[in-house]
Amino acid sequence: MLLRVYALILLYKLNTMSLISSTIGRKVAMALSGLFLVVFLTQHFTINFISVFSEDTFNEISHFMGNNPLVQFLLQPILIFGVIFHFLMGFILEMQNRKSRAVQYSMYKGGANAPWVSRNMIWSGAVVLSFLGLHFYDFWFPEMNYKYLEVLPLDPNRYYEEMTHKFHDHLRVILYIVSFGFLALHLYHGFASSFQSMGVNNKYSPSIKKFAISFSVVIPLGFIFIALFHHINSL
Amino acid sequence: MNLTLKVWRQANAEAKGKIETYPIADVSPDMSFLEMMDVLNEQLIGQGIDPIAFDHDCREGICGMCSMFINGEAHGPDRLVTTCQLHMRKFKDGDTITIEPFRAQAFPVIKDLTVDRSAFDRVQQAGGFVSVNTSGNTQDANSIPIDKHDADKAFDAAACIGCGACVATCKNASAMLFVSAKVSQYALLPQGKVEATDRVMNMVKQMDEEGFGNCTNTGACEVECPKGISLENIARMNREYLYASLKG
Amino acid sequence: MALESKIPKGPLSDKWTNHKSNINLVSPANKRAIDVIVVGSGLAGASASATLAELGYNVKTFCFQDSPRRAHSIAAQGGINAAKNYQGDGDSTYRLFYDTIKGGDYRSRESNVHRLAEVSTNIIDQCVAQGVPFARDYGGLLDNRSFGGVLVSRTFYAKGQTGQQLLLGAYSAMNRQIGRGKIKMYNRHEMMDLVVVDGKARGIITRNLVDGKIERHGAHAVVIASGGYGNVFFLSTNAMGSNVSAGWKIHKKGAHFANPCYTQIHPTCIPVSGEHQSKLTLMSESLRNDGRIWVPKNIEDVKAIREGKLKPTEIAEENRDYYLERRYPAFGNLVPRDVASRAAKERCDAGFGVNKTGEAVYLDFAAAIIRYGSEQAHVKGLDENDTALVKKLGQEVVRAKYGNLFQMYEKIVDQNPYETPMMIYPAVHYTMGGVWVDYNLMTSIPGCYAIGEANFSDHGANRLGASALMQGLADGYFVLPYTIGDYLADDIRTGKIDTNHPEFEKAEAAVKAKLDRFINTKGRNTVDYYHRKLGKIMWDKCGMSRNAEGLKEAISEIKALREDFYENVNVPGTTSEFNEQLAKAGRVADFLELGELFAKDALERSESCGGHFREESQTPEGEALRNDKDFTFVSAWEYKGEPSKAKLHKEELNYEEIEVKTRSYK
C-alpha cells in the first residue's frame, strides 16, 4: 500500500517536473513500477497457490477479487497502468540506449563483465509480455466478457473449474512453463537491481540481493508447480 | 611472438571507417600494448601507410587518455589496468587482436582510435566543483574534521581518471559511473554538501544532453573500470538525485 | 639586456607581504577588458587560469591533450609539503624554506623560496575547501608523512595519487570558470609561437591538433605553464607528450633560459626492459622508508643472477652490499634523490647491475616485512617465532602502505615484489632548470610569464620530494595572479589586441613554413628515430655524471643530429589533419636545440651541485664538490640565433638569511 502511495506521489511529481525525462528519473520509475509488479505477483501467486489446497477458498477469494468494486475499479486500472507503464518505459529506454551507440562494435564481449540476464532484460521482458497476452486471452478477456459485456449471473463457484480447464492442454502448459522461466530471468536481475536504481546500496544490500534472487527463483517455480499440478490432476 | 591486428581505420570524423588487418612480428611479452602499437606505427610509416592515430600520454595508468577497445573489452582483457599498462604477455603467439575505438554517440571518432571525450568535460563544467574562490583565505584546513571512512570513500570515488571505459563498456553507453564518481566525492565531504542539490541536478541534466544512455545496472562498468570505481557511487547519485528532485 | 630580478627590499620574511601591498592593481572594471593567455593546464596552469578568471580577467587556456585533466601533474604520487606543523614536530615556514634551499644545494633564489614556504599553508586550506580528499586519521584531521631527507612530517598526501587529486581540484576550479564563461578552454591545441609586438608579449600562434588549422590568439599577457623538459632524454618519467616547445619558443623570442643542465634523476624507477621501451615508470620515493637497497658483493653472484641460475633471495646476508647504508650511515637509504641515484649508477658501472641490461639494483622489503610482522604478532599476542605467520602479517602491513605501488610493479615487471626484491634504476624525472623569471615570475620578455616546472625559480640544483606540487600551486593560485596585475595595470587603455598586426602575420607565416618543411622533407627516418638518438646522447653524456670531454662530444653530436634531422626526417601525412607525427616532429626539433644548450650549460658549470655532477669536481670519496666561490649564480642564457651562440648572463645569488654550507648526509 505504501508503495502505491509512493508511486502516486511520484506520478504526480512526474507531471509537475521533468523527472520523468531524465535518465535517473526514468530508471527510478522503472524500478518503482517493477517493484509494484513484484508485489502484485506475490499476491497473484498466493491466491493461485491456494488452489492447490482448497477449491472453496480459491473460489471465495477469486469471487471477492472479481467483484469487489475497490479491486475492480481502482486496483485493476492501476495494475494495468503499471504493466503498460513498465513495458512502455522499458521500450523507450531500450530505444534511447540503442541510439546512444549508433555504430556498433565489431567485437563486443558482453559476457566478460556482465551476466546475460542483465544485458537481455528487453528480451526476457518481451517474452513475459507475450505471455501476458496469452494469459489475458485465457482468463482476463473471458472474465471481462462474462461480467461486463454479457453480464451473466454471478456464480461464486465457477473459478476453480474454469482455471483447471485451461491447464488440460499440453501446449498451453509448456508455454506457461517456458514463460515462467523467462519471468525468473527477468526477476533475477530486475528485482535486486531496482534497489540500486532507487539508491539503496549499503550493508543490507547483499541480504536484499539474496532475498530478491531467492524470490525470483521460488515464485516462478511455484507458478510452474501450480500449472503442473493442475495439468496432472486433469489427466 | 607474432600477432595479427585488426584495427579500425577512419580518416576523420566524417569519413566512413573500416577494419584493416596488419601482421606484426617479434613482439616482446614485456612490451606494453601501446609500445606494441608504436612498433606497428614505425612499421606502417616504413611501408608508406598512414600511422594509426591513438590517444595516449602518461603511460602509467593515471592520465586517462588512452582508450582502446581491445578484443571486445575496454582497455583489453586484463583487469584494473588502462591500455598503457596492459602488457603483451597477456596474449599468445599467433593471436588475432581486434582493436576498435571507444564507441558512443557522445564520443565521436576523431581519427582511427582517437575519440572526442569532451562531453565528460562539459558534464564536469556543469557542476563538478565546489564554488569556492581560490583566494587562499578559506578557513584552516583542519577546522572541519571529516570521518575517515567518508574521506576514504570520497577518495575512492575521486580516483576516477575520466578515461571513458565505463561508457565504452556499457551496453547502453551510459556515463553514470563517471558522473556518479564526482557527485559522490563531493556528496561525502562537508565542503561539497552545501551545493549538492544543484550539483547533481545540473550534472545529470548535462549528462543527458550529451546523449549518454541509461543505466540498467548490468555492472559492466565497475568490472572494466581501471580504477575499480564502485557501483555504490551510482546508487548514491540516484539517491542524491531523487532527494534533489523531490526537494524541488 | 641586464638581468633584473626585482627582488623587493627589506627583511626576507616581509618581502612578499610588503611587495603585495605595494604593487599596482587593476580595478575590477578594467580586468574585464584584459585578456590573458595561459599555455598548459597542469597544476600551475590550471590554478592560474582559475584564479585569474575569478579575479575578472578573460582567460584563454590551451592544452595539447584532449582535456585539461590529463596534464602530467596528475602522475605525481607522493605528496605536497606545507609548513602547517599539524604534527607539532617543530616545523615552521623558516624550516621549510631552509630545507628547500639546502635541498637545492644553495643554487636557488632565497626570496622566491621563502615566499613559497609562506604560501604553502594556504595551498592546503584552499585544496581542502575545494574538496580534495587528503588522507585523514581516525580523528578526522589531516594526516602527514615524512619525505625524502627532512626531519619533520610535513607532507600531505592522498594515497599514492596526490598529484591526481590536486590536479583534479585545480581542474574543478577551472571548470567552474569555464562554466561561467570566464575561461575559454582550447583542448587539443598546441602553442606554435609567441607573438611579440613592440617588445611586449601580445599573443600566440596555435595549431588545432584535430584539423591542423593555424590560429592567432591575442592577449595582454601570456603565461607559460607547460611543465618540464625531461623528455629531451627520450626515456623519462614524463608523459609522452610532455615537451619544451612553449618554453623554447619564448626563449627564441627573447626569454632567457636558466640552468638547463639542472636535471633530477629519480632513484626509484622501474628499469628499462628492452629496446621497445617508450617511457619509464616511477615508484614513489616513500618506498625507501622501508625498502633496503643492495647489490651482490661478489661479481660471480651477479653473473649467476643474470644467467638466471641464482635468485636474489638465495644470496646470503653477508654476500649483499647495502651500499647506501655502507656509504651514508646517518641517512642510509633515505639520502636525497641525487645522492641515491649516483650511488646506484656507481655500482652498476662497476658491473654489479642485477638485470640483463646491467642497469638495476634491488630494493628489498624482506627485512621490513619481518620487522612489521613481528611487531604485529607481538601486538596481537601471537607466536613471534612462527616465520610463516610473521611473514604473512608483515606482508599485510606492507600491502596497506604500498599496495598500489606493488600492484603497479607486478603489472609491469610480472614479478611479485612481496616474494622477491624489486628491481629499480634511476630515471630522469624533473627539470629544475627552465625559463628565467624575475620575482614577479615574468620572463625577460615584458608581459610573458612562466610558472611551475616551466620556470627555474625555486628548486635550485635539486628538488626535494613533495615540493613540485607545492611550487606549481603556489605560483598558480597565490603568486602570479597578483604579480601579473603590476604589469597589466599599465595596459588598461590598450584595448583588444589586434591579431591582424604584421607581427602576427609574420609569426603565422613562419609557423606554416616550418610545418611545411617537415612534411616536404620526406626523408628516411622517423621522428622517433631522432628522439631516441638524442635521448641516448643525453643519457650517456649529460646524465647522472658528466665530464668536459663528454659534454663537448654531446654538443657536436647533437648539432650533427639536428642537421641530419632537417635533412632526413620522414613526417607522413599533411599539415591539415590530425597528425601525431607532425606534432611530435615539432617537439623533437625543439629538443634537438635545447639538448645542445643543456650540454653547453653543463660544460660551463664545472662544479658539481645537486643533480649536476661533474666528475672533475668531486671529493676524494667521490662525493659532489660544490664551488661556491665561482658558481653561486644562475646561468641565464640569451638566444642568439642558435644554441651554440647563446650568451650567458649571470644572476648572482645572495644569501642574506642563511649560511651556505656543504651538504652532508654521511
- C369-409 pLDDT, tens digit per residue, is 999 999 999 999 999 899 999 999 999 989 888 888 898 89
Q: Do B214 and A193 touch (CB under 8 A)?
A: no
Domain A2-100+115-234, CATH class in plain words: mainly alpha
pLDDT at residue A8 in the model: 59
Q: Do C241 and B189 touch (CB under 8 A)?
A: no
- The pLDDT of residue C643 is above 70: yes
B179 to chain C, closest Cα gap in Å:
13
Alpha helices in C147-266 (DSSP H): 162-179, 245-252
Chain B: touching chains (3 or more CB pairs < 8 Å): A, C
* Contacts (Cβ under 8 Å, ≥6 apart) of A229: A52
Supply φ then ψ for residue C629, to 5 degrees: -60, -45
Q: Which residues of A touch B (CB under 8 A)?
A: 13, 17, 19, 21-28, 93, 96-97, 99-110, 112-115, 118-119, 121, 189, 193, 196-201
Name the percent of chain C lying above pLDDT 90.
90
pLDDT at residue A2 in the model: 52
B84-116 pLDDT per residue, tens: 999 999 999 999 999 999 999 999 999 999 999
Q: CA of A112: which chain B residue's CA is closest?
A: B73
As a whole number, mean pLDDT of residues C412-439 equals 96
pLDDT at residue A16 in the model: 46
pLDDT at residue A20 in the model: 74
Q: Do C133 and B87 touch (CB under 8 A)?
A: no
In chain C, residues with a C-beta closer than 8 Å to the C-beta of B227 are none
State the pLDDT confidence band at A5, using cuts at 50, 70 and 90.
low
B163-207 pLDDT per residue, tens: 999 999 999 999 999 999 999 999 999 999 999 999 999 999 999
* Contacts (Cβ under 8 Å, ≥6 apart) of C63: C40, C41, C45, C70, C71, C185, C186, C187, C188, C189
Neighbours of C331 (CB within 10 A): 17
In chain C, where are the structural domains located? 268-428, 503-624
State the pLDDT confidence band at C285, using cuts at 50, 70 and 90.
confident
Average pLDDT, chain C: 95
pLDDT at residue C362 in the model: 97
- The pLDDT of residue A197 is above 60: yes
B10 to chain A, closest Cα gap in Å:
13
Alpha-carbon span C73 to C451, nearest angstrom? 13
- CATH T-level fold of C503-624: Methane Monooxygenase Hydroxylase; Chain G, domain 1 (1.20.58)
Kindly tell me the number of DSSP H helices and DSSP E strands found in chain B.
9, 7
Which CATH code, of 3.40.50.2300, 3.10.20.30, 3.40.50.300, 3.20.20.70, is assigned to B3-111?
Answer: 3.10.20.30
In chain B, residues with a C-beta closer than 8 Å to the C-beta of A196 are 217, 231, 234-235, 238
Give the DSSP H/E element, type plus range, for residue C265.
strand C263-269
- The pLDDT of residue A10 is above 60: no
In chain C, residues with a C-beta closer than 8 Å to the C-beta of B32 are 278, 412
CB-hemisphere CA count at 13 Å for C184? 9
Q: Do C161 and B131 touch (CB under 8 A)?
A: no
Instruction: Report yes or no: B226 and B219 within 8 Å, Cβ to Cβ.
Output: no
**3-state SS assignment for residue B29:** coil
**CATH number, span B117-132+140-247:** 1.10.1060.10
**CATH number, span C268-428:** 3.90.700.10
Which of B245, B246, B247 has the most A C-beta neighbours within 10 Å, making it the best mutation to test the interface with A? B245
In chain A, residues with a C-beta closer than 8 Å to the C-beta of B242 are 24, 28, 198-199
In chain A, where are the structural domains located? 2-100+115-234
Which of A14, A21, A23, A213 has the most B C-beta neighbours within 10 Å, making it the best mutation to test the interface with B? A23
Chain C: touching chains (3 or more CB pairs < 8 Å): B
B180 to chain A, closest Cα gap in Å:
11
pLDDT at residue A19 in the model: 60
Grid cell in block for residue C206: 596555435
Whether the domain at B3-111 and the domain at B117-132+140-247 fall into the same CATH topology: no
State the pLDDT confidence band at B137, using cuts at 50, 70 and 90.
confident
Task: Please count the residue pairs, one from chain B and one from chain C, whose beta carbons lie less than 8 angstroms apart.
Answer: 219
What order do you get walking across the sheet with B68-70 strand by strand? B18-24, B3-9, B96-101, B68-70, B73-74
Alpha-carbon span C31 to C37, nearest angstrom? 14
B220 to chain A, closest Cα gap in Å:
5
A179-194 pLDDT per residue, tens: 999 999 999 999 999 9
Neighbours of A105 (CB within 10 A): 18
* Contacts (Cβ under 8 Å, ≥6 apart) of C568: C521, C523, C524, C525
pLDDT at residue A15 in the model: 47
State the pLDDT confidence band at B248, using cuts at 50, 70 and 90.
low
C158-205 pLDDT per residue, tens: 988 999 999 999 999 999 999 999 999 999 999 999 999 999 999 999
Q: What is the model's pTM?
A: 0.96
Q: Do B217 and A189 touch (CB under 8 A)?
A: yes
Instruction: Report yes or no: C330 and C324 within 8 Å, Cβ to Cβ.
Output: no
Give the DSSP H/E element, type plus range, for residue C294.
strand C292-296
Buried b (16+ CB within 10 A) or exposed e, B163-195: bbbbbbbbbbbbbbbbbbbbbbbbbbbebbeee
Between strands C633-638 and C257-258, the pairing is antiparallel
C502-551 pLDDT per residue, tens: 999 999 999 999 999 999 999 999 999 999 999 999 999 999 999 999 99
**3-state SS assignment for residue B69:** strand
Between strands C58-62 and C183-186, the pairing is parallel
C58-93 pLDDT per residue, tens: 999 999 999 999 999 999 998 999 999 999 999 999
